[in-house]
Structure 1
Amino acid sequence: MTIRVLVADDHAAVRAGIVLILDGHEDIEVAGQASDGEQAVAMAFDLRPDVVLMDIRMPKLDGISATRELTGIADVLILTTFDLDEYVFGALRAGAAGFLLKSTDADALVEAVRVVARGDGLIAPSVTRRLIAAFGSAAPEYRPREVDSLTPREREVLACLGRGLSNAEISAELHMAEATTKTHVSRLLNKLGLRSRVQAAILAQELSAGDRRTPESLKGRQKTPDQGFPAGA
């Protein structure tokens, strides 16, 4: 299956470089290019790409606001020069499926696009420690009854997301088809009012760290901050 990508960046040279990298792979097609956030949203609704590679600092509409508007339309992979906490947290709260820095090498960028297109999430290792520390030290934003509404299987899937497992890894561990795993992920996100699996992973970490009526299935092995969320978090 060909992965259709929309590249959104206000610098033409940067867009050209990203397109050059992506066009060299048979399984990826650049469906369009946008020079600002408003154009990115409009083109995403029109072209329906699988993945939007989104810069943060853009005119008319910034990348975080654009990401918020694209929930349910396309998976957004933030690609930015800046790893400021306000950008990282803002992008993930807006529903971004991943966050990478523009210093990422070409092979890692291509693999990140594939990871996000599969429905998995990805966070740059350089920001993972700060991310877990910031969210893990805060009280969960979600009422216990929202977590209690999950089925036992959905709680197991949430625990796996908290450990940074990909859909394929969850399927292998829980002995079910990958399509079934995707269904469970979608349902638990809907029940908890979350925009992305990355947000679900953060919630699982918060619940374990705070031990606030954490479901039994969330008390299993957790990734340490040093491990972070790899390609499949």
Structure 2
Amino acid sequence: MPDHTTPHPGAPQPPPNPFGNFPRPAPSSPLRVVVADDNPVVRAGLTALLSGRADITVVAEATDGREAYEAAHFHRPDVVLLDVRMPGVDGISALPYLVRIAPVVMLTYSRESEIVREALRRGAGGYLVHGEFTADELVAAVRDIRQGRAHFTPSAAGALLAQLRQERTGPPLPEGLGSYESQLGAPANGTTSSGPHHGSNSPEPLSRLQPPVRQSSLDRSRFQLSAREAEIMDHIASGMTNQQIAATCFISEKTVKNHINRIFAKLHSTSRSEAAAKWLGTAPGSARGLG
């Protein structure tokens, strides 16, 4: 029986496969992570969780900032997960050295606003508080941090927001931003192109466009609120809920309610809106803030 598998020497040869001469693309290398935490249970859990993903591998573990730096310097990871409070060299101290090697995301139980702010100032690319994220959210954060996208859990974001609210003053805005004319598109001669007319060159009263000016601290002292009560009253006046105030101030909602009860008593108010009006000096007949 003739062999049909071997072509005859004189038979024409089939053309080469144009798709068979290209090398197959090499699989992308896994994302390399260093985990630094002094708690062995936390370290083991994070390592097991991350290593269970096909595109992530934990190349080293560390128990303090010094070990984290040595591991990062040796392995050159893509991301470092760093705890804040560790014996020896803590995470905040090691942070400026680690960010020179790889992006760093803080992964910690510490949620104080001062720590969040300092971590960001020293170069952290994200801040995650234990108990506020799922396994999938942690994995997504690690992948995103590598790409330069920041991640914050609610407590960290709230702490940062509270810090920014305390720093209301800042450098002046560039020319043209925040001015009456730029907001309305008014011509340079001061006339308005639309809206109510108040004289030949009189623009619409600015008071209609701006929120009421808050009372001075001297006026507010009439209410005899404590520093914490004044802070909470500011949050109430800005429209925050009890849950948002609790997260921002790092206290329980029950504690927030207790503060609000005392605030209402001092402001002789029975509702949030009434208290806010007195606090802001906009209550009827209280131009200077009546208690």
Question: What interval of TM-score do these two structures reach, taking the shorter chain for normalisation?
Answer: 0.5 to 0.7
- Of 93, 117, 121, which residue of structure 1 is paired with 2:150? 121
Distance 2:139 2:108 in 1: 15
Distance 1:215 1:94 in 2: 31
Distance 1:9 1:119 in 2: 23
RMSD: 2.6
| Distance apart, 1:71 and its partner CA | 2.4
Distance 1:42 1:128, change over 3 A: same
| Distance apart, 1:126 and its partner CA | 2.5
- Of 64, 73, 76, which residue of structure 1 is paired with 2:101? 73
Match of 1:101 in 2: 129
Distance 1:57 1:116 in 2: 21
Distance 2:143 2:119 in 1: 19
Match of 1:212 in 2: 172
Match of 1:39 in 2: 67
In proportion to residue count, which structure has more helix?
A: 1
Distance 2:80 2:37 in 1: 10
| Distance apart, 1:119 and its partner CA | 1.3
Q: Which runs of 5+ in 1 are unaligned?
A: 141-209, 220-224, 227-233
Q: Deviations over 1:99-128 (max 9, x none)?
A: 001212211111110110111111112331
Normalising by the residue count of structure 1, what TM-score does the alignment of the two structures yield? 0.59
SS in 2 for 1:79: strand
Matched length: 153
Q: Which runs of 5+ in 2 are unaligned?
A: 1-27, 183-239, 245-291
SS in 2 for 1:31: strand
Distance 1:217 1:116 in 2: 32
Match of 2:110 in 1: 82
Identical amino acids, percent of aligned pairs: 41
SS in 2 for 1:7: strand
Check whether the contact 1:78–1:96 (CA below 8 A) recurs between aligned residues. yes
Q: Which has the larger radius of gyration?
A: 2
- Code of the aligned partner of 1:120: R
Normalising by the residue count of structure 2, what TM-score does the alignment of the two structures yield? 0.48
Match of 1:53 in 2: 81
Q: Deviations over 1:174-228 (max 9, x none)?
A: xxxxxxxxxxxxxxxxxxxxxxxxxxxxxxxxxxxx5723477999xxxxx98xx
SS in 1 for 2:73: helix
Distance 1:58 1:212, change over 3 A: same
- Of 48, 52, 70, which residue of structure 2 is paired with 1:24? 52
SS in 2 for 1:213: coil
- Of 126, 133, 136, which residue of structure 1 is paired with 2:162? 133
Check whether the contact 1:65–1:94 (CA below 8 A) recurs between aligned residues. no
Distance 1:60 1:211, change over 3 A: closer
Check whether the contact 1:34–1:40 (CA below 8 A) recurs between aligned residues. yes
SS in 2 for 1:112: helix
Moved over 6 A (4+): 215-219
Bigger relative contact order (CA 8 A; separation at least 6)? 1
- Code of the aligned partner of 2:125: A
